[in-house]
């Protein structure tokens, strides 16, 4: 169940120590987009107080630290969803493969130890809730609404479409949907997050309220 939590605190900005942890963590979130994600989470908690955040695709926990910092500031939690086996583009032979994330015993990617080390280093274990498993399976078992759903999972079309179908109903009315790696121009990057998540959201009545780099933040219909 998506836990209901306390009231929103007055927030001035992200703890610089936590920001340094985020920037120093392996991952793909540029610092300015991470700051924008933090701001979106703060905004979401003000719009829909008492509801958690959800992160779909945690990898080694880089973006989770930005969300965890916002969760602590707002008196809520973030459900960090990942199977920790790496997305398609992280596998051997693909552009974003990192051999240091391969478990020596299994020969497979395992980002979970790295994720846990990040959360421990940030001291965010009290507000970050691990949700380990396939995205759609986790969505099926987590009930209730979230003030913010951040989608940064696999970038294959089928995976992105499945994330949209599974997680868009979890965004509370008046809450925020954040999407990473949205590129309108194919020359800038893959089209799955744009065509399979962003555009269906717009057609469903979500309204874009901010953008930073490839991060898009959309307001859910009330």
Of the candidate CATH numbers 3.40.605.10, 3.30.70.260, 3.40.640.10, 3.40.50.150, the domain formed by 16-219 belongs to: 3.40.50.150
The H or E element spanning position 69 is: helix 62-74
Region 118-134: what's the mean pLDDT?
97
The answer to whether residue 59 scores a pLDDT higher than 80 is: yes
Would the pTM of this model clear 0.85, i.e. be above it?
yes
Going by C-alpha positions, the residue among 109, 108, 112 that lies closest to residue 120 is 112
Region 53-68: what's the mean pLDDT?
97
Domain boundaries, the chain: 16-219
Region 44-57: what's the mean pLDDT?
98
Answer yes or no: 84 catalytic. Answer: no
- Active-site pick, 79, 83, 114, 155: 155
Separation of alpha carbons 176 and 64, rounded Å: 16
Separation of alpha carbons 51 and 171, rounded Å: 10
pLDDT at position 8 is: 40
pLDDT at position 190 is: 84
Residue 103 or residue 188, greater confidence: 188
Beta strands in the chain (DSSP E): 53-56, 78-82, 128-132, 146-151, 171-179, 207-212, 215-219
Separation of alpha carbons 206 and 222, rounded Å: 9
């Amino acid at each position: 169940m998506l836990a209901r939590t306390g009231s929103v605190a007055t927030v001035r900005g992200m703890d610089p120590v936590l920001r340094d942890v985020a920037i120093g963590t392996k991952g793909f979130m540029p610092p300015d987009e991470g700051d924008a994600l933090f701001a979106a989470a703060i905004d979401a908690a003000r719009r829909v107080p008492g509801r958690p955040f959800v992160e779909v695709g945690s990898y080694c926990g880089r973006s989770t630290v930005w969300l965890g910092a916002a969760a602590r500031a707002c008196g809520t939690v973030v459900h960090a969803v990942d199977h920790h086996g790496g997305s398609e583009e992280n596998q051997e032979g693909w552009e974003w493969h990192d051999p240091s994330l391969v478990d020596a015993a299994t020969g497979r990617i395992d980002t979970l130890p790295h994720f846990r080390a990040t959360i421990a280093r940030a001291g965010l274990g009290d507000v970050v809730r691990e949700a380990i498993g396939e995205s759609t399976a986790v969505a099926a078992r987590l009930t209730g609404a979230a003030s913010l759903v951040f989608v940064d999972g696999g970038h294959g079309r089928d995976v992105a479409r499945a994330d949209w179908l599974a997680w868009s109903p979890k965004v509370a009315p008046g809450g925020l949907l954040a999407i990473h790696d949205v590129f309108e121009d194919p020359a800038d990057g893959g089209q799955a997050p744009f065509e399979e998540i962003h555009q269906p959201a717009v057609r469903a009545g979500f309204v874009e309220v901010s953008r930073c780099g490839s991060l898009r933040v959309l307001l859910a219909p009330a």
